A = this chain, B = another copy of it.
Amino acid sequence: MATRKKTIKKAARPAAKNAFYAQSGGVTAVINASACGVIETARKHKNRIGKVYAGRNGIIGALTEDLIDTSKESAAAIKALRHTPSGAFGSCRFKLKSLEENRREYERLIEVFEAHNIGYFFYNGGGDSADTCYKVSKLSEEMGYPIQAIHVPKTVDNDLPITDNCPGFGSVAKYIAVSTREASFDVASMAKTSTKVFIVEVMGRHAGWIAAAGGLASTEDTPIPILILFPEVEFDEKKFLGKVDAMVKKHGYCTVVVSEGVHWPDGRFLADTGLKDAFGHAQLGGAATVIAGMVQRELGLKNHWAVADYLQRAARHIASKTDVDMAYAMGKAAVQFALKGHNSIMPTVERISNKPFKWKVGMAPLSKVANVEKMMPKNFITKDGYGITKKCRDYLLPLIKGEDYPPYKDGMPKYVRLKNVAVPKKLKGKFEL
């Protein structure tokens, strides 16, 4: 009798809608932790959320109806996403045009969602994807096909508004702070007869959040002479070289953390050297090589330089526990908000206090997130333009707190690769991107 009752109940309940999840833009050490949060939470609510489909290579997967059936992945595989860097389903830098310019793309998305009974859209990315998410939710209303569009924040650039920070940033910050401290120790011990200036180039074309994290390498109990070159501060060669010279004279060495976005007063990036090789080919270089050349030439100081590039945003081995926890929490909250009926929103990190560090999950309407870029506050940079203030340090420090080591096998981190089984297509015809 009990069994029969259950069957009747099931039939009476409205069919659960499927969910669509996609990763967008540059991947991070913890974006998969958000995916893990989304999928694990959805799996706990099978009566409301059917399957979670993921876009293969991000939103392109939705446009081309190339969906991945995450229900084919074991619980262990999904759990392992929490400690696996990169984008497990593939990501892309495909920006949807405006509704006016290309309504066709948005309509196609909704067409694919409808074909696969998708009622939840979880889009994990930065500013561009927040905008896309917002537009999809607006258009779905217009088109009469209901979609709950929820944006899951992610970006190493830390430039989304309202949320205290963006998951992904804390781990890059930790990597840069730790690496800067380690390399500075190295240089300090060799400076008497060898390298006196060490230069490390970090990401951040528009904002100096990541460069600022280099400042965390120096603390009260472990002071290190560090100069930070922010994209927010116009580069002044003479002033900078004077600073380097003074620091080396005082401390015997110094470390320069240079953002890839550092530029001359006329706006040209330092990295744009305009150099061409013997065949007239533009020569690639970075801001670090330009700084290194300058220090060698003008001050005659032996130096070394490093460019961290992808190593910094992929460095799951030294991820911040706070960052991993937040990334997971954002994914989990996205599903919980969806289940409560919310639409066109983004879960956020709300900081309650610094000491002790406390935070909670908040919520922001996408209308206030889309197309707003959060810049670094002016009072985060010291007056001389080369360091971080106490305000900045108080903000950054909790974000790099805690370690969250991945499991290892034979000396190597065990990162998961999913099966990524395709969902059979339902629509006819191809969609040209």
Contact = CB atoms under 8 A, between A and B. Distances in A.
Interface of A: 23, 26-27, 29, 57-58, 60, 84-94, 174, 177-179, 181-183, 185-190, 192-195, 198, 200, 216-217, 219, 222, 273-275, 277-278, 281-286, 288-289, 292-293, 296-297, 304-311, 313-318, 320, 322, 397, 400-403, 405, 408, 410-413, 415, 417
Nearest to A310: B183
Contact of A222 (B174, B405, B417): B417
A85 B186 contact: yes
A219 B412 contact: yes
Chain copies in complex:
2
Max chain B C-beta neighbours (<10 A), residue from A58, A219, A318, A397: A318
A284 B293 contact: yes
A59 to B, nearest CB: 10
A194 B311 contact: no
B311 A179 contact: yes
B318 A318 contact: yes
Max chain B C-beta neighbours (<10 A), residue from A23, A88, A408: A408
Nearest to A396: B411
A177 B411 contact: yes
Given A92-B190, A182-B316, 16 more contacts: A27-B186, A57-B192, A60-B192, A85-B186, A91-B190, A178-B317, A181-B415, A182-B310, A186-B313, A198-B310, A273-B277, A284-B305, A285-B289, A304-B310, A306-B310, A402-B411
Contact of A273 (B84, B182, B283, B304): B283
B284 A413 contact: no
Nearest to A415: B185
A296 B57 CA distance: 23
Contacts of A317: 178, 182, 318
A131 B334 CA distance: 64
A173 B50 CA distance: 45
Given A92-B190, A190-B92, A311 B183 contact: yes
A314 B224 CA distance: 15
Contacts of A401: 410-411
B289 A182 contact: no
A185 B85 contact: yes
B193 A57 contact: yes
Contacts of A192: 57, 60, 90, 92
B309 A306 contact: yes
Nearest to A86: B185
Contact of A193 (B84, B92, B187): B92
Contact of A408 (B90, B403, B412): B403
Contacts of A217: 412
Given A189-B86, A192-B92, A281-B297, A413 B307 contact: no
